Homo-oligomer: A and B are copies of this chain.
């Protein structure tokens, strides 16, 4: 029998993910702080629960997809939290991006009740969530991971088992470290080209095929040249992830000077009220420093 799946957190990522689970044939129970966000899931055939605890009561596997570490702690360990409703042998899959250390603490609390936990943060954004093409990085016991594989396959395309509890979060944070610096690379290349007076579209085309190539250069540089700062991925969320990465790096004494710089430059965007723009807005911080506008 298909496991019954609970879903807590129906935001821009969670709602389409829950809908994909319904589409894949799972019995889905959901809960969201803003109740209206449950309606599309209910209309598709899901069930609206009363609380995270209630979701867990109704489900074999409960997924959380919320913003940050304290939000996961609240819906799992807080009043009417998942821990109150989850039965023995149930599984919690946290697909939020949060602290690896907090993940290990929550997993230990759940284990006392014989509830298993997987950390399974994703990349691929809201497009990946809608299309079911997310990349999912999973930490926890491998046997539990294998048991939950059908659920992951309904949500993502690249599913990687990364190691013990917290390893999924750590790999996700490595991903965000690389992304942040690749965005800075793209931004400094464009800024230099703009100041030096070359045709930026020609420059972009000339360097995009070779050793300078990156997903960020291919996908975000054209947006900058069109002055399109609408979010694919929001500055505020990138900042939250870089904060988690730098905290985790401090805990294990990893030295990340470039990432620290990227974090500061994104903070400068937030100071200008641009936290809800896309991460390609990083170029604006450099533009202000150098008194130029990057456009083509």
Q: How far is the CA of A210 from the CA of B160 in the complex (A)?
A: 13
Of B193, B248, B292, the residue contacting A171 (CB under 8 A) is B193
A23 within 8 Å of B (CB atoms) = no
The chain B residue with its CB closest to the CB of A180 is B185
Q: Is A137 an interface residue (CB 8 A)?
A: yes
- Whether a CB of chain B sits under 8 angstroms from the CB of A43 is no
B195 x A188 contact (CB < 8 A): no
List of B residues within 8 angstroms of A170 by Cβ: 192-193, 196-198, 203
Q: How many copies does the complex hold?
A: 2
Q: How far is the CB of A99 from chain B (nearest CB, A)?
A: 12
> Shortest CB–CB separation between residue A206 and chain B, in angstroms?
4
Q: Which residues of B contact A259 (CB under 8 A)?
A: 188, 192
Interface residues of A in 7-28 (CB under 8 A from B): none
| Separation of A135 and B174 alpha carbons in the complex (Å) | 31
Report if A296 contacts B (CB, 8 A): no
Given A181-B181, A184-B258, A206-B171: A248 and B215 within 8 A (CB)? Answer: no
A207–B255 touching, CB < 8 Å: no
Residues of A contacting B: mostly: helix
Shortest beta-carbon distance, A52 to chain B, in Å? 29
A213 touches B211 (CB 8 A): no
User: CB distance A254 to B181 under 8 Å?
Assistant: no
Given contacts A198-B162, A215-B210, A203 and B174 within 8 Å (CB-CB)? yes
A42 on the B face (CB < 8 A): no
Residues of B within 8 A of A290 (CB): 253-255
Chain A: residues with Cβ within 8 Å of the partner, total of 74
* Complex: A286 Cα to B257 Cα, angstroms: 9
State how many angstroms separate the Cβ of A222 from the closest Cβ of chain B.
15
A174-B193, A179-B212, A181-B184 known; A205-B160 Cβ under 8 A: yes
Q: Does A261 contact B (CB under 8 A)?
A: yes
- Chain B residues whose C-beta falls within 8 Å of the C-beta of A262 in the assembled complex: 258
Determine if A191 and B135 form an interchain contact, defined as CB atoms under 8 angstroms apart: no
Sample of 5 further A-B pairs with CB below 8 A, known A160-B202, A175-B207, A184-B258: A124-B211, A125-B211, A171-B206, A196-B248, A258-B262
A interface with B by C-beta (< 8 Å) = 100, 123-125, 135, 137, 158, 160-163, 167, 170-171, 173-182, 184-186, 188-199, 202-203, 205-207, 209-217, 219, 233, 245, 248-249, 252-259, 261-262, 265, 286, 289-292
User: Can you give 17 contacting A-B residue pairs, CB < 8 Å?
Assistant: A135-B209, A160-B205, A167-B198, A167-B199, A170-B196, A174-B189, A175-B206, A175-B212, A178-B186, A181-B181, A191-B256, A192-B245, A192-B249, A211-B219, A213-B214, A214-B214, A214-B217
The 7 closest A-B pairs by CB, nearest first: A181-B185, A214-B214, A195-B254, A178-B212, A160-B206, A255-B289, A178-B189
